[in-house]
Amino acid sequence: MVSGPPWTLQEGDSLKVGEAELSFREGALHLKDLYTDRTVAVKVSRVEVRPYPPVYVPKKVTDYLMLEFDPLLLEEDKEVWFTAPYDLAVRVKGRVTAYLSPFLVKYTLYGPTTEGIVCRHHRTKALEEPEETEYALVRVNFRVNKPRQVDKLVIPVAELDIYAKGDKVFYEVVEATVGDLINVELKNVPPVEADQIYPTGRSVSVISRIMSGYRMRW
């Protein structure tokens, strides 16, 4: 049984998502991406593979994702779609056994060396509507208080909600208020009618949601 996302693997199944590959044979789960190639013994009949925020591979060093794109001149409120990466969590009996990345992982520094933050980096382009892609899709609602050019967004993804519809993966809606600074917020709603697939087994506190914004100063 391989359907998803999320995907369920039984004995004899295999799965390839981008650069991530998994196969389940004779009680052994083989995991491979650009950063790992290993086999894990498992005493179960099925394994779940679920999209997670893109901060776990090769190891967790940040809670932020930077989307970089060609400059957009924003003069009025506008909705724009972008692609974005995600990681894969391999779950056995509800617990994460390993993380894989379907994509090449790059990091960058946002801001000055002494005050900036490390971000997962993804080069993307502005889209008028969702396109066919192996990446996740994110809808950004720009609220323009002062016209300006924007060529990057820093999104706090530690508390990110992730959704799926068919074979597509979506981030929750992101709102960016544009002025002298850019304030980025997660809105806790899906961009289309879709099933929430992350987080699972827990609810995000109101305090966590309030703290999940980021103010871009540079």
Sites in the chain below the pLDDT cut of 50 = 203-211
pLDDT computed for residue 4 by the predictor: 76
At residue 27's C-alpha, the angle toward residues 196 and 99, to 5°, is 40
C-beta separation of 171 from 84 below 8 A: yes
Q: Which of 87, 79, 15, 86 is nearest to 47 (CA)?
A: 15
- 49 Cβ contact list (under 8 Å, min separation 6): 4, 5, 6, 7, 8, 9, 15, 17, 22, 88, 89, 90, 91
Specify the residue for token string 């290993």. Answer: 38
Torsional sign, CA 175, 99, 167, 3: negative
- Distances in Å between the Cα of 193 and the Cα atoms of 23, 132, 162, 189 are 31, 17, 12, 10
pLDDT computed for residue 210 by the predictor: 43
| CA 120 and chain centroid, separation | 10
pLDDT computed for residue 207 by the predictor: 42
Read off the pLDDT of residues 104-136 as tens digits, 9 standing for 90 and up. 999 999 999 999 999 999 999 999 999 999 999
pLDDT computed for residue 218 by the predictor: 66
Distance CA 140, CA 18 (A): 24
pLDDT computed for residue 201 by the predictor: 59
Three-class secondary structure of residue 93 per DSSP: coil
